Structure 1
């Protein structure tokens, strides 16, 4: 007799899970039957609210604080997932920061912060995932469609996400024979705090009008694709999925 893993015994870790795309992805995966570890850096109360949303709806979830760039903290987060729910099947790397300024004026300490969270953080989490995910698993990194738009002031952010796309493709090949997919989701302009911060209404309206669908994306738009890659999309591997309403 053969047995198969179903959503009801699968476990997901979602970094950056306290807000925005990460929080919506955590809720969506829980609704699909995953037990979810909601990873967060500094937003414990918001992470607890996401856990409460999931458990109130009948799901299973726990919040774990971890700096994604700290390999010891990330290993401990995976330990918690294994000890609480029995293993790890899916990892969603949603933790990230964005700081905008022209390249010529960009503060190098701020540049280092972006690379530490977005590049090193993704690398560290992916490293643990590569070591510990069960067969049939999925690693889903978060990039950005801004790479294609090449907007002024986004140079440091684009540099970090270009690195994420590169390591996504390499890791997919390194996991040959493991039955683990590795992909990246690249949202376009999406109505999250990260995107809206520092933008005036005119700028937001102009960016919302750019896609043929003439609106900003929603966190649900992105979480739907994350859930697809985490579940039925077993023949998509080593790809960057641009989820942007046709903007690029």
Structure 2
């Protein structure tokens, strides 16, 4: 069984974002970038499935600028077999990503696509669902447990009432949640081996897909700073202030 795992290069989760002076976006100059944490979980899950013998090949793919090669090499060092980089300068919106992934799926013919439920830079949570819609495949989102069998995939997800378990026929799209697994660290020997693993460079034109943005960012601003709270002497004063604010009657 072949598994396709899309990964995204994002601002490292330990770095505090800074807005550009002109308000056009987040300043990414000279800051640490890394693999999207949810995608890292997806890569780890694919590797674990391969170690169990359920998967024979793991293909990782990234869509973005050429520096995303570093992210793909990280996935290869973790245990993926080969990589595809679709070079696209500028922001690629979720629909454009989903269309490109749909073309790659048609070309690679995987039985399963595992990807993070969302990227921590824009938090859209759209790509997996759009990809499933374009392909006409079943989808299981926010997976906290995944089991593969001859019949298909058994996915457990966390819901408000507890846990929800469903069975899905393959091929299918699965998006990962935080509690699915704990990603491994790539060892030095595997990092060295990753340099010789296949990495193919493509462009959106190779797949006949246009990724021109459909949305325009008007302005990006920092969230307002929280103001200091007010101390009250007793409950009566608290109630009086709440009444003044219209919170209490």
TM-score band (shorter)?
A: 0.3 to 0.5
Higher relative contact order (CA 8 A, sep 6+): 2
Larger radius of gyration: 2
More helix by share: 1
